[in-house]
Amino acid sequence: MSEKREISRRTFLNYALMGTGGFLAAGMITPMIRFAVDPLLKHSAGGDKVAVGSIDEFGAEPKRVEFKVHTKDGWYESESVLAAWVTKNDKGEVTALSPVCKHLGCTVDWNKGEHENEYFCPCHMGRYKIDGAHVLGTPPTKSLDLYETEVKDGKLYLGKIKPNPLPGVTG
Ligand code: FES
């Protein structure tokens, strides 16, 4: 015996409103959480430099790396996972960009969908060029932060996060 269940228009509207509300709440809460942990990320990147791979792995195309840093704040010790987008030009100069959007702190991605050859932030359509310069007319007003870099014994090390002085560019 099959039981047919139907939902009323009111129930359907309730589900639709709950779904929309949840989606909007997630969009607002994510940047708030990033704001709350941002000082931790900055602090934890301020210690010794961390090896993220062989320098030969990197080239003109941005490559994402993740690395762990140990944080000690009074009695509290923790490990955080940070990420960077790394490029190396033909002179061997390395750039390591923070993926944290300078608008409200969402995470940018490289070369996603129709956003070819740029970093794109899906939260409010923020855009950045390959060197991290923010695209004028999109929400971010600063360029993506940079990590200090060092190459030693064939390995790339990343250190503190510092502001990227590049001005905005037209897209
Ligand atoms: S957080 Fe708003 S554009 Fe990235």
* CA-wise closest residue to 146 among 99, 91, 93, 109: 99
Q: Which atom in ligand 1 lies closest to the alpha carbon of residue 106?
A: 1
CA 74 to ligand 1 centroid distance, Å: 32
| CA-proximal residue: ligand 1, atom 1 (nearest) | 104
Rounded distance from Cα 94 to ligand 1 centre (Å) = 25
Question: pLDDT band at 7, cuts 50/70/90?
Answer: confident
pLDDT-based confidence at 112, cuts 50/70/90? Answer: very high
The model's pLDDT over 115-127, given as tens digits with 9 standing for 90+, comes to 999 999 999 999 9
Q: What residues line ligand 1, using a CB cutoff of 6 Å?
A: 31, 101, 103-106, 121, 123-124, 126, 139-140
Highest mean pLDDT among 20-29, 31-40, 68-77, 144-153: 144-153
If one compares 23 and 144, the residue with the highest pLDDT of the two is 144
Distance 122 CA to ligand 1 centre (A): 7
Burial of 150-163, coded b for 16+ CB within 10 Å and e otherwise, reads eeeeeebbbbebee
- Measured between alpha carbons, how far is 140 from 128 in angstroms, rounded to an integer? 9
Q: How confident is the model at residue 42, as a pLDDT?
A: 47
The ranges assigned to domains in the chain are 1-42, 50-162
- The per-residue pLDDT for 9 is 78
Helix (H) or strand (E) holding 20: helix 9-44
Cα 152 to ligand 1 centroid, rounded to whole Å: 35
Decide yes or no: CATH 2.102.10.10 for domain 50-162: yes
- pLDDT digit string, tens, across residues 77-108: 999 999 999 999 999 999 999 999 999 999 99
Please indicate, yes or no, whether the overall pTM of this predicted structure exceeds 0.85. Answer: no
- Checking if the pLDDT of 5 tops 80, the result is no
- The tokens for 65 are 């790396």
